[in-house]
A and B are shown apart, each in its own frame.
Chain A
Amino acid sequence: MHAFRFDPVTLPADAPALRKEIREFVARELPHVPAERRANCWAVFDAGFSRKLGARGWIGMVWPKEYGGHERSALERYVLLEELLAAGAPVGAHWIADRQSGPNLLRFGSEQQRRAWLPGMARGEILCCIGMSEPGAGSDLAAVRTRAEKLADGRWRINGQKIWTSNAQQSQLMIALVRTGPLDERNRHAGLSQFLLELRTPGIRIQPIVDLVGHPGFNEVFFDDVVVEPHCLLGVEGEGWKQVTSELSLERSGPERYLSSFALFLELVRLAARVDSEALHHAIGRLTAELWTLRQMSLSVAGQLAAGEDPMLAAAIVKDLGNTFEQQLPALVQSLVGADVRLEDDSDLARTLALLLQTSPSFSLRGGTREILRGIVARGLGLR
């Protein structure tokens, strides 16, 4: 039980000034974004906007200056993220580089790798994708079968396939989890390694997968005898599992885990201002209490991360509750709007609702399914 700590956080003194700066920037750069593009905005790809953020020093904000970063605090970065997400800014292009690939390089990368890639990531020019899932390895990530074998000259030859890779067709880099040692059924986490791969390397083929709303966001990535230099190994050979799980903590703890449907909440508030409805007031009240609580919890996790702790359990709780909130919101809105709002309408509310009804089921899949997260929580409770 004591692992369930959600201690309060005091945001840095410059947070209000930073918020003001961000709000002015967003108002200037994104004068009108339709509501459905503000929904789930960390999956919205806009390379031009990412470069503008990079130029402002808002990518890789906490990284050392010598690698192109800006040495701001983790909580300042949290303020930036929640402001951008609440405003619905299209931050999808650089999100992975900023959230996990960059930090992963800082933690496990060689000096050469850091110098080669981090400054470009911080400028918003080098974009990254995640090479974890495979056709046979979803929640059971240790089941990856993509193999890298060491050649006599020290180089590596990679064969296999990744899948559900968001933005692979528009990214330069992938950090891939692959098997470098034989599978030992008694120790399945051994023999895994991470590789930093340039996606233009010969032998890599990227094939889009169109999602259920018709967007080509996902990809399959095939590796056919891809030969890479020894320096493409990230971190230590055989330590891939340890490295990838530390990456997952970063992936699960941010404000994007409860704000994906926020744009629809605002449309609901706008509707309630036009239509006097007791049911709408009650729903908005409940959703407000949930949002406020989730933000307090998410902030607390950010504070723990900033203090150098690894709040795996707390992060799993925030993601689970946050995803549930993001998913219940569209269903609740659908149940509340009047007969005059049709899903095929051309209004902000209808378009956002239609998009989120269809995409929100994925929110409790990406970054760890609800079942996996609850398994982590159950372990924290001493049940496993």
Chain B
Amino acid sequence: MSEQRELLADSAARAFQSYDRQRNAWHEIEELGIADILVSDTNGGSGADWDDACAVLQVSGRWQIAQPIAEAMIARKLAADAGVQLPRSPLSIAPDAAGTLSRDGRALKFSGILQSVPWGRDVSHVVTSLAFEHRTHTVVLSVKDAKLHKRTNLAGEPRDDLRFDAAEALAAASTSRESQHLFYYAALARTAQIAGALQSALERSIAYALERKQFGRAIGRFQAVQQQLALFGAETAAATCASRSAAIAATTGDAPFQIAAAKLRANQAIGVATATAHQVHGAIGFTWEYALRHATQRLWSWRSEYGNDRYWSEHLGRTVVARGADRFWADLTGTGAG
């Protein structure tokens, strides 16, 4: 596991570091083979696990690649698991779907709205998950059938609303495990990207603190600044460890608890991290030109995406309280008895 993970992360890091942000071409991402990373080898993918995938996603967050990498990974996996063929074009997912599927002869039609679809305007298809005829279905919709309402998140990443009116849909009843977890997969992927973006903001802040001089010395030599950056480092470490632990849990089985805890912990790290990054940078950090915003604007947006703090804290809290205090420790250590 670990060796392949390191190799993947290293090659992704090299590719992302030299990625041409101006041209920003999807085919360059496609050539890396990472969009198919979660598709099983029998379905023509590389059969990597969530730990491997999250290593790549962390690096994509580290380099702030403005492409639907996480989304394509999940879309390809869910479609392949459901037996639906998709083109080698950029793809996205829509965990937030409101609408209905209906039969029209042999075809299936979808009417409804998919909200905040990442890169909705740039992708060919969107994969979502809907209840239909008492079963959860993985549903694939073609974006050309949608009425597009363009929106972007704080970092300028497309988050479009897609409205469909009796649009043709490909759907397959899926094992409940996969499709119910579309939202969890999305949260797990974002958590890995958050960890990467935190690392990049931290590295940039340290470098700046060592370079920027005031009162005759680098500001990073002042204890007050060091103590803030140390906490920033600790928060980054916590988010990274949480992300990795959840990825490993998802590799070996269902991990709703771990994914919820990891996304919430990563969300919490964003508060301290972005505040400290900007405090250390001073005014320059607030300019359009300076690159810090690529990390911090993403972090502010990603904190809200796929479960903000309130969503996951309520979910986790209710779960823990329903299970009861006497079961808590056994559950936490994975040794609970029912």
Interface, chain A (partner B; CB < 8 A): 1, 4, 6, 8, 16, 19, 82, 86-87, 265-267, 269-270, 272-273, 278, 280-286, 288-297, 300, 314, 317, 320-321, 371, 373-375, 377-378, 380-384
Bound form: Cα–Cα A288–B331 in Å? 11
Bound form: Cα–Cα A273–B309 in Å? 22
Question: DSSP majority for the A interface?
Answer: helix
The 7 closest A-B pairs by CB, nearest first: A285-B313, A281-B317, A285-B317, A285-B316, A374-B230, A378-B226, A377-B230
A6-B236 in contact (CB<8A): no
Contacts A8-B248, A288-B320: A86 and B329 contacting too (C-beta < 8 A)?
Answer: yes
CB-based nearest B residue for A86: B329
B258 interfacial by beta-carbon distance below 8 Å: yes
CB-based nearest A residue for B269: A293
B residues in contact with A19, CB < 8 Å:
333, 335
Q: How many A-B residue pairs have CB under 8 A?
A: 159
| Known A289-B261, A295-B333, A375-B230; further 19 A-B contacts with Cβ < 8 A | A16-B335, A267-B325, A269-B320, A270-B325, A282-B310, A284-B321, A285-B312, A285-B318, A286-B264, A286-B268, A286-B309, A286-B317, A289-B268, A290-B268, A293-B241, A293-B261, A314-B237, A383-B206, A383-B221
Contacts A4-B233, A384-B226: A282 and B320 contacting too (C-beta < 8 A)?
Answer: no
CB-based nearest A residue for B228: A374
Question: DSSP majority for the B interface?
Answer: helix
A residues in contact with B264, CB < 8 Å:
285-286, 289
Residues of B in contact with A, size category? 35 or more
Contacts A4-B233, A4-B237, A384-B226: A266 and B328 contacting too (C-beta < 8 A)?
Answer: yes
CB-based nearest B residue for A266: B325
Which of B225, B233, B236, B312 meets A380, CB within 8 Å?
B233
B residues in contact with A295, CB < 8 Å:
332-333
A residues in contact with B329, CB < 8 Å:
86-87
A296-B313 in contact (CB<8A): no
CB-based nearest B residue for A15: B335
A317-B237 in contact (CB<8A): yes
Report 11 cross-chain contacts, Cβ distance below 8 Å, ordered by A residue.
A1-B203, A4-B233, A6-B237, A16-B335, A284-B313, A284-B316, A284-B321, A285-B313, A375-B226, A378-B226, A378-B230
B140 interfacial by beta-carbon distance below 8 Å: no
Which of B206, B229, B236, B242 meets A296, CB within 8 Å?
B242
Bound form: Cα–Cα A282–B320 in Å? 11
Report the minimal beta-carbon distance from A268 to chain B, rounded to whole angstroms: 8
B32 interfacial by beta-carbon distance below 8 Å: no
